[in-house]
């Protein structure tokens, strides 16, 4: 593995005001608890800091990767080259505008958006109960359930490009579909978004619906285990978890990685799992499901880094 260029490190430390760590283990920054080191992990708290950092990375030809909550992410054991950016500060703010618009930074947690929607009696986000990630990550994959996705709520998305320029993208141009969107745009980083959430009617118990959804997830998913959420997308008209269950794979392990006994579409880090363990288990699941049902499971979790 090549060491990050010292000239870049020196410039970074002299010009960037945020927190920087070199050779930082990414297993400490993902819900899976898996992943090799980032050449450089930088915490960015403002748009000015972000522009400074991406300009510097561009000058030294360093690749940039945006790390959210790390909750739908599998980092390979060799880690990630270049600069891994974790947004914080102003990028984690959430506020209500014009009564029914939720304006939020891309680093804001989905749970924070839900709390704000409850406080202001805004509806439409209840389906996201229990989703552990950030708004930015949720937008990129159109996070949600089999029936609903966050893309349906998006009015606009703000991005900054690698040359420092800014743009606002209309939600109806972002091609949201099941676990897909055209975000982030090439060379762009999501900085914030505005969601349209209607006001609840008199007597509508939003909190009760959210509580019901959370308890359902708690019963049916291994929320208290280390995982990256659902590993595979649901095939059209089917449930990936049900297919994995029918294939007899619940509880199957490779190394420290195990198919959850609670939900077949979750792989948990049972004890010191590596990315290699998870990838081998994913391949076994694909093979067994294809042999049993003739269906090819498409990966939902984002796999990044070097092996």
Q: What is the pLDDT of residues 110-152, one digit of tens each?
A: 999 999 999 999 999 999 999 999 999 999 999 999 899 999 9
Other CB atoms closer than 10 Å to residue 147's CB: what's the count? 7
pLDDT of amino acid 73: 98
**Angle of the 110-119 helix axis to the 206-220 helix axis, nearest 10:** 150
Phi, psi of 214 (to 5 degrees): -65, -45
Tell me the mean pLDDT in the region 141-168. Answer: 96
Q: What is the pLDDT of residues 69-80, one digit of tens each?
A: 999 999 999 999
pLDDT at residue 16, as a whole number: 94
Q: Cα 205 vs. chain centroid, distance in angstroms?
A: 29
182 is catalytic: no
Q: Which residue of the set 86, 230, 262, 275 is catalytic? A: 230
Residue-averaged pLDDT of the chain: 96
300 is catalytic: yes
- Annotated catalytic residue 217: no
Local confidence band at 3 (pLDDT 50, 70, 90 cut-offs): low
Structure confidence by residue, pLDDT tens digits, 224-248:
999 999 999 999 999 999 999 999 9
101, pLDDT greater than 70: yes
Residue 204 has pLDDT above 90, yes or no: no
The pLDDT value recorded for residue 202 is: 85
Q: Is the torsion defined by CA of 43, 49, 51, 53 positive or negative?
A: negative
Structure tokens at 101: 């618009």
Question: How confident is the model over 6-63, as pLDDT tens digits?
Answer: 899 999 999 999 999 999 999 999 999 999 999 999 999 999 999 999 999 999 999 9
Q: What is the mean pLDDT of residues 157-185?
A: 97
- The pTM of this model reads 0.94
Alpha helix positions (H), 127-274: 135-141, 206-220, 240-246
Domains of the chain: 9-89 (3.30.43.10), 93-196 (3.30.465.10), 222-304 (3.90.78.10)
Res 4 pLDDT > 90: no
Of 45, 81, 179, 262, the catalytic one is 179
What is the pLDDT, as a whole number, of residue 307? Answer: 83
């Amino acid at each position: 593995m090549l060491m990050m260029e010292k000239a870049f490190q020196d410039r970074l430390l002299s010009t960037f005001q945020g927190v920087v760590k070199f050779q930082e283990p990414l297993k400490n920054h993902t819900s899976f608890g898996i992943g090799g080191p980032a050449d450089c992990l930088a915490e960015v708290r403002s748009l000015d800091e972000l522009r400074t950092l991406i300009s510097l990375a561009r000058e030294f030809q360093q690749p940039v990767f945006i790390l959210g909550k790390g909750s739908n992410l599998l980092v390979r054991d060799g880690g990630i080259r270049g600069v891994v950016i974790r947004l914080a500060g102003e990028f984690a703010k959430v506020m209500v505008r014009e009564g029914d618009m939720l304006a939020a930074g891309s680093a804001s947690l989905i749970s924070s958006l839900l709390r704000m929607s409850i406080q202001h009696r805004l509806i439409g986000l209840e389906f996201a109960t229990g989703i552990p990630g950030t708004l930015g990550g949720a937008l990129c994959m159109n996070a949600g359930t089999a029936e609903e996705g966050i893309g349906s709520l998006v009015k606009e998305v703000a991005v900054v490009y690698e040359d420092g320029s800014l743009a606002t993208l209309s939600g109806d141009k972002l091609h949201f579909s099941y676990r897909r969107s055209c975000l982030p745009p090439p060379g762009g980083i999501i900085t914030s978004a505005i969601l349209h959430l209607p006001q609840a009617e008199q007597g509508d118990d939003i909190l009760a619906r959210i509580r019901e959804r959370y308890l359902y997830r708690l019963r049916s998913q291994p929320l208290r285990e280390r995982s990256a959420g659902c590993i595979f997308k649901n095939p059209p008209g089917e449930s990936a978890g049900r297919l994995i269950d029918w294939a007899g794979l619940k509880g199957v392990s490779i190394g420290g990685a195990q198919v959850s006994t609670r939900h077949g579409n979750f792989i948990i880090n049972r004890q010191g799992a590596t990315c290699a363990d998870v990838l081998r288990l994913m391949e076994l699941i694909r093979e067994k499901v294809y042999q049993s049902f003739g269906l090819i499971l498409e990966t939902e979790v984002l796999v990044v880094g070097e092996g």
